[in-house]
Amino acid sequence: MQGLMQSVPLLISSLLAHVERHHGDADIVSRRVEGDLHRYTWADCAGRARQVARALDAQGLPFSGRVATLAWNGYRHLELYYGVSGSGRVLHTLNPRLHADQIAWIVNHAEDQVLCFDLTFLPAVQAMHASCPTVEKWVALCDADRLPAGSGIPNLVSYEHWIGAQPGRYAWPDFDENSACGMCYTSGTTGHPKAVLYSHRSTVLHACAAALPDAMNLSARDAVLPVVPMFHVNAWGLPYSAAMVGAKLVLPGAAMDGKSIFELIETEGVTFAAGVPTVWQTMLGHMQANDLRFSTLGRTVIGGSACPPAMIDAFRERYGVEVLHAWGMTEVSPLGTLCTLKRKHLSLPRGEQAAIRLKQGRALFGVDMKIVGSGGEELPWDGKAAGNLLVKGPWVVKAYFKGEDGDPLVPDAQRRGWFPTGDVATIDADGYLQITDRSKDVIKSGGEWISSIDIENIALSHPAVAMAACVGVFHPRWGERPVIVVARKPGSEVTRDELLKFYDGKAAKWQIPDDVVFVEAIPLGPTGKMLKTTLREQLRGYQLTEAR
Amino acid sequence: MQGLMQSVPLLISSLLAHVERHHGDADIVSRRVEGDLHRYTWADCAGRARQVARALDAQGLPFSGRVATLAWNGYRHLELYYGVSGSGRVLHTLNPRLHADQIAWIVNHAEDQVLCFDLTFLPAVQAMHASCPTVEKWVALCDADRLPAGSGIPNLVSYEHWIGAQPGRYAWPDFDENSACGMCYTSGTTGHPKAVLYSHRSTVLHACAAALPDAMNLSARDAVLPVVPMFHVNAWGLPYSAAMVGAKLVLPGAAMDGKSIFELIETEGVTFAAGVPTVWQTMLGHMQANDLRFSTLGRTVIGGSACPPAMIDAFRERYGVEVLHAWGMTEVSPLGTLCTLKRKHLSLPRGEQAAIRLKQGRALFGVDMKIVGSGGEELPWDGKAAGNLLVKGPWVVKAYFKGEDGDPLVPDAQRRGWFPTGDVATIDADGYLQITDRSKDVIKSGGEWISSIDIENIALSHPAVAMAACVGVFHPRWGERPVIVVARKPGSEVTRDELLKFYDGKAAKWQIPDDVVFVEAIPLGPTGKMLKTTLREQLRGYQLTEAR
């Protein structure tokens, strides 16, 4: 027997309709590529998103047609988020940090029909447009009078001209909530990138779970700054969650340096910010150098990579900002866990609370997780056993676009599919996840697993170390042994032997790296993560200087 | 094109599975009918809910079969919530405040097959069991050795014996999230009660939206006390929201007096409580008489009836407890709006903030609302125009069980159905709802509407008035004129003329009641609301003492 409640689909347009009706005058502030601050309201955004929908209708773009973006966090990008998905098309956010050839490959694979780009990325578009035959229209996210002349790009139009011709009246259509709303390519370690295809249902459920008090705790009293880019996993869903709760939204554009981000937080009264560790590192450096303090920032979510303990300490102890450590990935929309305390933790001493906060936290309601050993057997939640992390839930991927990689899911005894994350983790008795490594980065030494993240965190706690990457190199007896690759801070010195000695008492003897390799800089990938694959290639054939 | 995210249905069993895995050791404390406090954990609850499911399987109760409860807020009732719905059956919470004949009528209409009752309600069950032929099994919520002998009830079994015979191993089944999970009868003003049939989807979505920071703001750091009964609209969904977030749950049983509730709040460290105004009135009276203070209570949700301003003041100003005014109804699962401030309100003077908090608040994400005039035309959101309130959303009813009342929805221009709530309300430009009346209670005087609630609130602010109900009586010239029915506080005096004079300057002249009727007590219905229908009947043929 069915219940007798209304059949109202969970659609992205319902987020916009809600914020327009109930929080129409809440602000959206954007740092533009031009450098100035643009300021308008959610009601203005909704009106222009409807114009986007009309422009796509006028062009005859079909339901599920792909509209790509190459853009920073800004109000026009936000209008595309809602106008494209709300009207039933698929928003395809491209990562501009990829090489133009890679972007072109992805555009062709996605069969994008419209591509909208910030003028920053004009050179990339000029380099690739000729090899993107599916794209019918190129839209520069600028005013009509700033449209670059003689760009050589056919059918190029300015965004303002494109939507300006359209009326703001439009009724968001109703359709199946399982329809695709957006896609994001993820660069696997091997082969071509694969696309995750989000649905309206998955996006709305994720936005709601992410706003809960035990997750990002978002309300109509917040001013939200997504430093995480809207071109990668939808800025952790913040453009959706902010609309759901009616928060003020502050979008930093291309100005991602520490000084600009700090100033934006202060001038706009930001209460909540989200970013990857590398961005916060530069901001904290700027603050320390200039003896600055926050006036309004209350909490920050840090994810994307494991956050160094020293950074969590700096935010909490020096600046009084709550740090919410998170774990997620493109295939999980992206949020899987967030670290907030339980009732029973509130009476613990500060130090024990701090130890819990170093973990990536508890599963959001909706996300199931488990860890399994190499034979697929489920491992205990004891905070010690480390295994491959598998997840399941309504905002977890079940397959990639066009069936790339076949069926990625691992069935359980009830034949329900689990997504293997490629992360290695422990889970403690209270359900707190701690990522110990990527499964491809873990170092397998004589049958034991060494967490590259643990070894890196020790190096990072040395005052002379700016960045550190631990990789495994071939060893005839142990299979693999860890080597730590280190970039020193400018003007700082530390020798190989000093650094190896620094590990004494901080790691078990067999976990201490066999060698240190000093480099000028550690290569970073397009989402800001360290490229260990590159490092491993550079170290192929590396001879350990001393046998253990 | 469909998205490629996992198809995971939103099921009530997923709430229990989540809390068991991630918050298994969080406490559930129940005041038992026996008077003592029972204490166990969410993991214990989950194990016994599985035994309930096994007991229903053993009995052969089919999918969607109805299991009725006549019970207070307690741990066994909670196990039935999850065991019945989680296994695919329908939980039917009966209101024990109804007369045994009415209960029997409802049991027959619902075709309940199992009926579980607290021993408090043994006399009612003895009076009705013979007229309930669909019920195959009667379960007394008690230990085996407390089963009443010679009750005359056939197939009577104790709950502990019933589930004790079953193992705790059980895999919660997967099924369509739109399946019915629970039902609640609502007593219309005319005719027989009608049943709202909730679905798993509507219940889980409601539980999530209700836990958001702008709604009840529930987290794993809360101890939640539902004073609102689990026998009426699922205690506002708190048994579900508490599991979703892993909160401690405190269940007050039959001890609903002010002293017991206050003691439970203090001894169990309750941070959040929910109830109707009448319950809080007695608790505040107890506190004031004994000069008591709260140690842990941070906030309370008040709904069910409009909360008198004086009560909001008492909680906030005297006891430092945040009061969240709410609006809801059985047909809305029940939460429609909750009153929390927006960012722009934070800088307002205290008095202006207080004025906003008197309203019932903003729509939860998911709930759409509008107000319409008598011709169905939509009225502006200006905080002044009062109209009939209509709502729409995934946890709003679309029809009643067995098609009673036909199609209750009112279609809009897009042919989407809106549920007419029967409430009259204003909505201001910021989307804050204020209920001015029930549409059947509004007094229509010479073409103008007079809000009975406004007139009652003025009377309630008089120190001698304990309760007040304003009803319309026939008037040859104006159609209707308001009369205020008043119960004085014990030992307090106020005359008709004094009270009418008290309205001077507090209401427009034409809104002031024409007369005062003093009574010993105002009749209350089974959910604690004033029975204005009874008052209107008593006042039929009433002659106004003075023509206006």
pLDDT in tens, B297-324: 999 999 877 788 888 888 998 999 999 9
Q: How confident is the model at residue A527 (pLDDT cuts 50, 70, 90)?
A: low
For residue A189, is pLDDT > 60? no
* Nearest residue to A485 (alpha-carbon basis) of A440, A524, A451, A521: A521
For residue A159, is pLDDT > 90? yes
Burial of A17 (0-12, 13-18, 19+ CB in 10 A): middle
* Nearest residue to B284 (alpha-carbon basis) of B239, B315, B252, B247: B315
**Mean pLDDT of all residues in B222-244:** 96
**CA–CA gap between residue A367 and residue B208 (Å, rounded):** 14
What lies within 8 Å, CB to CB, of B285 at 6+ separation is B258
Residues of B in contact with A2 (CB under 8 A): 176, 178-180, 199
pLDDT tens, residue by residue, B370-379: 999 988 999 9
Q: How confident is the model at residue B214 (pLDDT cuts 50, 70, 90)?
A: very high
Closest Cα in chain A, distance from residue B179 (Å): 4
For residue B350, is pLDDT > 70? yes
**Mean pLDDT of all residues in A524-535:** 81
Q: What is the mean pLDDT of chain B?
A: 93
Q: A444, A448, A495, A501: which one is catalytic?
A: A444
pLDDT tens, residue by residue, B432-459: 999 988 778 888 887 777 888 889 989 9
pLDDT at A434: 94
Q: Considering CB atoms only, which of A3, A248, A342 is closest to B246?
A: A342
E strands present in A134-290 = 137-140, 156-158, 180-186, 194-199, 223-226, 248-251, 272-275
E strands present in A60-143 = 66-70, 90-93, 114-117, 137-140
Tell me: cis bond preceding A334? Omega within 30 of 0 counts: yes
For residue B250, is pLDDT > 60? yes
A41 carries an active-site annotation: no
For residue A547, is pLDDT > 60? no
DSSP state of B99: -
Pick the residue from chain B with its C-alpha nearest to A391. Answer: B6
Task: Give the lowest-confidence range in A263-267, A294-298, A479-483, B295-299.
Answer: A479-483
**Mean pLDDT of all residues in A232-261:** 96
Enzyme catalytic residues of B: 186, 331, 444, 449
Q: Considering CB atoms only, which of A8, A197, A365 is closest to B393?
A: A8
Tell me: cis bond preceding B133? Omega within 30 of 0 counts: no
Q: Is A206 left (phi over 0), alpha (psi -120 to 50) or beta?
A: alpha
* Nearest residue to A224 (alpha-carbon basis) of A281, A280, A300: A300
**CA–CA gap between residue B13 and residue B81 (Å, rounded):** 10
For residue B547, is pLDDT > 50? no
**CA–CA gap between residue B453 and residue B147 (Å, rounded):** 46
- C-beta atoms surrounding A507 within 10 Å: 18
ipTM of the complex: 0.90
Residues of B in contact with A178 (CB under 8 A): 2-3, 7
Residues of B in contact with A408 (CB under 8 A): none
Around B305, how many Cα atoms within 13 Å sit in the side-chain half-sphere?
Answer: 22
For residue B175, is pLDDT > 50? yes
* Nearest residue to A141 (alpha-carbon basis) of A62, A79, A194: A79
SS3 B298: coil
Q: Which helix (H) or strand (E) holds B516?
A: strand B515-519
For chain B, percent of residues with pLDDT exceeding 70: 98
Q: How far is CA A205 from the centre of its chain?
A: 18
Strand partners, B332: none
Pick the residue from chain A with its C-alpha nearest to B4. Answer: A197
pLDDT at A426: 96
Partner-chain contact B398 A6, CB within 8 Å? yes
Residues of B in contact with A419 (CB under 8 A): 6
**CA–CA gap between residue B237 and residue B216 (Å, rounded):** 11
Task: Give CA angle at A330 (A325, A332), nearest 5°.
Answer: 70
Burial of A491 (0-12, 13-18, 19+ CB in 10 A): exposed
Q: Are A292 and A286 in contact (CB under 8 A)?
A: yes
Q: Are A28 and A238 in contact (CB under 8 A)?
A: no
Exposure letters A145-176 (e unless 16+ CB within 10 A, then b): eebeeeeebeebbbbbbbbeebeeebebeeee
**CA–CA gap between residue B392 and residue B412 (Å, rounded):** 11
pLDDT tens, residue by residue, B148-159: 999 999 989 999
**Mean pLDDT of all residues in B421-429:** 95
Residues of A in contact with B198 (CB under 8 A): 3, 5
Residues of A in contact with B414 (CB under 8 A): 171
Q: Are B521 and B487 in contact (CB under 8 A)?
A: yes
Sign for the CA dihedral angle at B156, B158, B161, B164 comes to: positive
For residue B543, is pLDDT > 80? no
**What number of C-beta contacts closer than 8 Å exist between A and B?**
229
Residue-by-residue DSSP string for B346-374 = TTS-HHHHHHHHTS-BEEPTT-EEEEE-T
Whole-model pTM above 0.80? yes
**CA–CA gap between residue B255 and residue B32 (Å, rounded):** 9
Partner-chain contact A365 B396, CB within 8 Å? no
Bridging pattern class, strands A137-140 and B479-488:
unpaired
Q: Are A543 and A510 in contact (CB under 8 A)?
A: no
Q: Tokens 């359900």 appear where?
A: A431
> What are φ and ψ of residue B513, in 5° steps?
-55, 150
Q: Considering CB atoms only, which of B2, B343, B365 is closest to A248?
A: B343
A186 carries an active-site annotation: yes
Which pair of tokens denotes residue B53?
Answer: 């499911």
Q: Considering CB atoms only, which of B3, B399, B430 is closest to A202?
A: B3
Which pair of tokens denotes residue B424?
Answer: 């009259």
pLDDT at A548: 42
What lies within 8 Å, CB to CB, of A340 at 6+ separation is A213, A214, A215, A217, A324, A361, A362, B219, B220, B221
pLDDT at B115: 98
A226-to-A252, A441, A525 alpha-carbon distances in Å: 8, 29, 20
Residue-by-residue DSSP string for B303-347 = -SSPPPHHHHHIIIIIT--EEEEEEE-GGGSSEEEE----GGGTT
Q: Which helix (H) or strand (E) holds A261?
A: helix A258-267
pLDDT tens, residue by residue, A283-310: 998 999 999 999 999 999 998 777 888 8
Q: What is the mean pLDDT of chain A?
A: 93
Task: Give the lowest-confidence range in A29-33, A238-242, B50-54, B274-278.
Answer: B274-278
Q: A41, A120, A134, A186: which one is catalytic?
A: A186
Partner-chain contact A199 B3, CB within 8 Å? yes
For residue A187, is pLDDT > 80? no
Residues of B in contact with A431 (CB under 8 A): 21-23
Q: Tokens 């995971």 appear where?
A: B8
Q: How confident is the model at residue B545 (pLDDT cuts 50, 70, 90)?
A: low
pLDDT at B548: 42
Q: How confident is the model at residue A142 (pLDDT cuts 50, 70, 90)?
A: very high
SS3 A115: strand
Which pair of tokens denotes residue B531?
Answer: 């029975």
pLDDT at B527: 67
DSSP state of A35: S
Q: Tokens 């009443």 appear where?
A: B148
Q: Which helix (H) or strand (E) holds B274?
A: strand B272-275
- C-beta atoms surrounding A354 within 10 Å: 15
Bridging pattern class, strands A248-251 and A223-226:
parallel
What lies within 8 Å, CB to CB, of B121 at 6+ separation is B70, B71, B96
SS3 content of chain A, % helix, strand, coil (to 5): 30, 25, 40
**3 state SS for B133-168:** CCCCEEEECCCHHHCCCCCCCCCEEEHHHHHHCCCC
Mutate to test the interface with A, among B365, B392, B404 (most CBs of A within 10 A): B365
Partner-chain contact A202 B18, CB within 8 Å? no
**CA–CA gap between residue B295 and residue A257 (Å, rounded):** 46
Which pair of tokens denotes residue A415?
Answer: 């034949």
**CA–CA gap between residue B305 and residue B216 (Å, rounded):** 17
Q: Considering CB atoms only, which of B244, B341, B395 is closest to A5?
A: B395
Q: Which helix (H) or strand (E) holds A80?
A: helix A75-86
Partner-chain contact B180 A4, CB within 8 Å? yes
pLDDT at A190: 55
Pick the residue from chain A with its C-alpha nearest to B345. Answer: A221
Rg (CA), chain A: 24
Q: Tokens 């909706």 appear where?
A: A366
Q: Are A216 and A324 in contact (CB under 8 A)?
A: yes
**CA–CA gap between residue A130 and residue A133 (Å, rounded):** 7
Alpha helices for A305-364 (secondary structure H): 309-313, 350-357
